[in-house]
Amino acid sequence: MKAGPDFDRKTKLLDDLRREMKEASLPPCESPQGLVFGEGQSAARLAIIGEAPGQQEAESGRPFVGRAGQLLRRTLAEAGIPLDQVWISNVVKCRPTAVQAGRVANRAPTTLEASLWTPWLIKELDILRPPLVLALGNLAAGVLIHKGFKMTEERGRWFPGPFASAVLATYHPSYVLRQTGPQGAIVRQRFRADLAAVAARLKPGPERYPA
Ligand code: URA
């Protein structure tokens, strides 16, 4: 994707937003350094939104670089979605932690944390205005599609999303990694099929909801 006026304008606005977020430092951010902002192509036609950074993301300052991220990036590549043409981000921009057996572990964001971060995600999407959004897991689907989203019933379907986008939700890759045996095979196959459906819709043609 070539740089152009849209790319330059969005890149600047995203830089400004990142600075604004660092100053706001909402929970669970312990310091502005812990902020993991979205990354990728600012003129992307697809934004991929996860839940919250984990340890590797917090250490590197980049979203989806740990095991779940590797699965996501590999499956996107298999589906024919070029990584340099997407924007990857999270609802919550700081790693939520809990101490378990004396060790710092990841935990799911609280409802309050998710609701405090949601307006920032909306600002981010307002700048990006991607025609397509992929929501990973229930938290992102609940924010981007509707409250109480049910992955078992509603995954893999297109819904109207913010700023006239079309949003599809699939399993969070961490969930996919946790599934083993026959259930694991089914979940992995559905995850691949959902990303293939996104790839099909990314091809030139009508993108916004409804098709
Ligand atoms: N899980 C997420 O939801 N986001 C990340 O960036 C990494 C793991």
The residues spanned by each domain of the chain are 5-202
Q: Enumerate residue ranges in the chain where pLDDT < 50.
A: none
Nearest partner of 121 among 207, 130, 81, judged by Cα: 130
Query: What residues have CB less than 8 Å from 119, skipping those under 6 apart?
Result: none
For ligand 1, the distance from its centroid to the CA atom of residue 14, given in whole angstroms, is 20
Query: Which ligand 1 atom is nearest residue 173's CA?
Result: 1
Query: What residues have CB less than 8 Å from 146, skipping those under 6 apart?
Result: 159
**Confidence at residue 21, expressed as pLDDT on a 0 to 100 scale:** 95
Query: Which ligand 1 atom is nearest residue 136's CA?
Result: 3
Computed over its alpha carbons, how large is the radius of gyration of the chain?
Answer: 16
Q: Is the CB of 125 under 6 A from ligand 1?
A: no
Q: How far is it, in rounded angstroms, from Cα 146 to Cα 170?
A: 14
The residues pairing with 99 across neighbouring beta strands, listed in sequence order, are: 104
Q: Is the CB of 64 under 6 A from ligand 1?
A: yes
**Confidence at residue 4, expressed as pLDDT on a 0 to 100 scale:** 77
Q: Is the CB of 68 under 6 A from ligand 1?
A: yes
The whole-angstrom distance between residue 133's C-alpha and the CA centroid of its chain comes to 8
What distances in angstroms separate CA 206 from CA 22, 47, 50, 143, 188, one per listed residue? Answer: 37, 17, 25, 24, 28
**Confidence at residue 202, expressed as pLDDT on a 0 to 100 scale:** 95
For ligand 1, the distance from its centroid to the CA atom of residue 136, given in whole angstroms, is 9
**Confidence at residue 156, expressed as pLDDT on a 0 to 100 scale:** 98
Q: Is the CB of 53 under 6 A from ligand 1?
A: yes
**Confidence at residue 205, expressed as pLDDT on a 0 to 100 scale:** 55
**What is the total residue count of the chain?**
211
Q: Is the CB of 54 under 6 A from ligand 1?
A: yes
CB 55 within 8 A of CB 66: yes
Residue 129: burial class (beta carbons within 10 Å; 0-12, 13-18, 19+): middle
For ligand 1, the distance from its centroid to the CA atom of residue 64, given in whole angstroms, is 5
In CATH terms, the fold of domain 5-202 is Uracil-DNA Glycosylase, subunit E (3.40.470)
**Confidence at residue 1, expressed as pLDDT on a 0 to 100 scale:** 58
Nearest partner of 85 among 26, 39, 149, judged by Cα: 39
Label residues 183-210 b or e (16+ Cβ within 10 Å = b): eeeebbeebeebbebbbebbeeeebeee
Q: Is the CB of 58 under 6 A from ligand 1?
A: no
**Confidence at residue 7, expressed as pLDDT on a 0 to 100 scale:** 84
Relative to beta strand 166-170, strand 132-136 is parallel
**Confidence at residue 33, expressed as pLDDT on a 0 to 100 scale:** 87
